[in-house]
Amino acid sequence: MSALPPKMQQIIFDGAGGPEVVRLAETDTPRPGPGKVLVEVAAFGINRPDCIQRQGLYPPPPGESAVPGLEIAGRIVALGEGVSGLKVGDEICALVGSGGYAEYALADAALCLQKPKALSLIEAAGVPETYFTVFDNVFTRGALKKGETFLVHGGSSGIGSTAIQLAKHFGATVIATAGSPEKCAFCKTIGADHAIDYRTQDFVAEVLQITDKRGVDVILDMVGGPYIAKNISLLALEGRLVQIAFLQGPMVEKLNYTPVMVKRLTLTGSTLRPRTLAQKAEIAKALREKVWPLLDSGAVKPLVHATFPMAETRAAHALMETSAHLGKIIVTTGK
């Protein structure tokens, strides 16, 4: 630990607002407490919750740093008391509650996963937030099984592209919605059986035609608003709707709830960041067993749309705001 620099660069939000509030700042290099490790960050992922935090609408959980950043990849440079199974020099990626936008970040040892063999550290930075979120919501909460039909909205996003790959690999028929012909083509190249351009097509009518009016077994949605009623109408008998965000708001003016009873539907959802360390560690364990072999072999992978140097994190946020990206947006630290 004596070799660590006393100071480091990090990204802060200078108030609530648009990308213009993103700026570099210098701070003391942290030291790991019990159960934690210090990671020299090679790269970190930009995620939609970061943008919501920047707008002042998604504060970090109590006890977490105000510095944004939910996923990192890099090398362990120091171990806190009681840490086992990891060592200095290990290349890892980790889910963090906050503080990932920095040259050095603290991570819970239980949420550190060895860098997948087929990935660079830059690619690995795009794994934790999306793979934790998708695996837990699609396969644990949504209980997607081989042979079922899966619908994901926003298929070209980081979450969407991860969901398409994993659902297809585990034997589902995959339908994705996206906002342009280019994005629809992207979804199909990574495994979607069908891709619907929601700007020019009625996705409800298209899904019903694709499924011969049966509907789908599991829907992963981050849009909300008017999509909620449409999603419910598209669920097959015993179908499951999993809500992970509300880009168009959480409110519904008019909703026919009858299909929930008649078709025995399950409406569920979750957030990841506020959960306990033990709950997140359970997801990490499942990923290590069921998904890491796929990442190690290259069967699935995070799809990096663009990388930015740390000094251009503001531009990375501006790109995220446009929703023009296909896959993940990554920032590199130069470490």
pLDDT digits (tens, 9 = 90+) for 79-134: 999 999 999 999 999 999 999 999 999 999 999 999 999 999 999 999 999 999 99
pLDDT mean over 264-281: 96
Residue 1 has pLDDT above 50, yes or no: no
pLDDT mean over 209-234: 97
pTM of the model: 0.95
Report the CATH architecture of 7-127+273-332.
Alpha-Beta Complex (3.90)
Q: Where in the chain is the domain with CATH 3.90.180.10?
A: 7-127+273-332
Distance CA 256, CA 235 (A): 13
pLDDT mean over 260-275: 96
Buried b (16+ CB within 10 A) or exposed e, 172-186: bbbbbbbbeeebbeb
Q: What CA–CA distances, in Å, run from 117 to 10, 127, 301, 328?
A: 28, 13, 11, 19
Tell me the three-class secondary structure of 270-317, residue by residue.
CCCCCCCHHHHHHHHHHHHHHCHHHHHHCCCCCCEEEEEEHHHHHHHH
- The set of residues, in sequence order, having a beta carbon less than 8 Å from that of 14 and lying 6+ positions away, is 21, 22, 23
Q: Where in the chain is the domain with CATH 3.40.50.720?
A: 131-269
Residue type, 263: K
**pLDDT number for residue 3:** 81
What percent of the chain has pLDDT above 70? 99
Distance CA 56, CA 51 (A): 9
pLDDT mean over 13-38: 97
Residue 2 has pLDDT above 60, yes or no: no
Q: To the nearest whole number, what is the mean pLDDT of the chain?
A: 96
Report the CATH architecture of 131-269.
3-Layer(aba) Sandwich (3.40)
